[in-house]
Amino acid sequence: MITEEDKLIRQPLFAKGCLTFKNSGHTLILDREYYRCSEQVKGNCHHHEEKMIRVKDMVRRFDSLITKFELPEGESGRIFDELLMVMVKEWRKSSQRDMYLEEILVSTGNLIIDQIKKRNEVSKADFLEFKRTFYTLLKNQYEEMLFNYLLDPLFTLNPWPKEQDEMAAFLRKSMGITVQRIRLYFSWHVRKIFLSDDGQIEGIEFENWSWYVMQYLKHHIPAYMNNLKKGFIVNTRRFDTLDFFEVADEFSQNDFRDAMSYSAFATNYAKEKILHKIFDGFEDLKPKAKIEYLKKLDGLTKQSFYAYFATLNRI
Ligand SMILES: [Zn+2]
């Protein structure tokens, strides 16, 4: 079941499997105040040079890495203006695409509510239809999430408070969107951080979608990322086009399997996990609570979809 508290779940700074010793390929796990080799914990590691790394130190090193990706003064506004146009187009596209599904969701939801009110047994077929439609809508909105990932560097990688404030104020006033600008969220874009045995950052690999995001920024700021050592970033893919819709369409061909490594749609397991999260425990509710929950689900705005979904993503 989705509860209000879900929004408050703290996501780990580094996803499972992100921190990796470069020499051994061993990943690191969190062990109280330290990150340490996950194989060492199991007794399988013979790389005795691998140090335990204080969480505080790792965060500090990552923070200083972010500095290398910060946007130069005055550039964000230009990119922001362009992305606003993309955003409007994306909203139009998704609302046309999802209109029919939303109708099905509401009408099936009402049908089930009716059955509950009349104390009839809820039809299994109707409930399955409701679940399936809900899931499809969720999946469709993944593209909007990817758009948000394209927009967020303008805030997370922007050290200029005045520029940030202007963009945030615009989004708040015109679209009712409150932007969170937490610098360390940059870690969401990084699939792998390669470490020396003593925990210095020696290289990174971006998520595939985030690599597109970086290329998009570089297209607007040609000198972007030029001060990094060759080979520091292991991604090499070049994009024929940087058009959001074309690239998103390409990633959608296989259910966004390659977009972000923690994509919640990539596996059946992930799909089950989402559906469990949303619908487990529903049967045990009292009729009145069942009705309230269904109403909440079919009335969810896209923003709340996103909020719920984002918390499911990385845990
Ligand atoms: Zn190891």
pLDDT in tens, 148-198: 889 989 999 999 999 999 999 998 898 887 777 778 888 889 999 999 999
pLDDT of residue 237: 96
**Cα dist from 88 to 252, 269, 286, 308, whole Å:** 20, 33, 41, 22
Task: Give me the pLDDT at residue 293, please.
Answer: 87
Question: Residue 128: exposed, middle, or buried by beta-carbon count in 10 A (0-12, 13-18, 19+)?
Answer: exposed
Which residue in 89, 109, 112 sits closest to 101, CA to CA? 109
Ligand 1 center–CA 50 separation, angstroms: 6
Residue 222 neighbours by CB under 8 Å, 6+ apart? none
pLDDT of residue 77: 92
* Helix or strand run (H / E) with residue 107: helix 76-117
Kindly state the average pLDDT of the residues 277-298.
87
Q: Are 149 and 210 spatial neighbours (Cβ–Cβ below 8 Å)?
A: yes
| Residue 297 pLDDT | 79
Mean pLDDT check: name the lowest of 12-21, 74-83, 229-238, 293-302.
293-302
Q: What is the pTM of this model?
A: 0.85
Cα–ligand 1 centroid distance for 29 (angstroms): 11
Provide the pLDDT confidence category of residue 7 given band limits of 50, 70 and 90. low
Query: In whole angstroms, what separates CA 123 from the centre of its chain?
Result: 34
- Please tell me the total number of residues recorded for the chain in this structure: 315
Q: Residues with beta carbon < 5 A to ion ligand 1?
A: 24, 26, 37, 39, 45, 47, 50
How many angstroms separate the CA atoms of 109 and 298, rounded?
A: 7
Q: To 10 degrees, the CA torsion angle through 272, 10, 192, 194?
A: -140
Distance 44 CA to ligand 1 centre (A): 7
Helix residue ranges, H only, 141-243: 142-151, 153-156, 161-175, 208-220
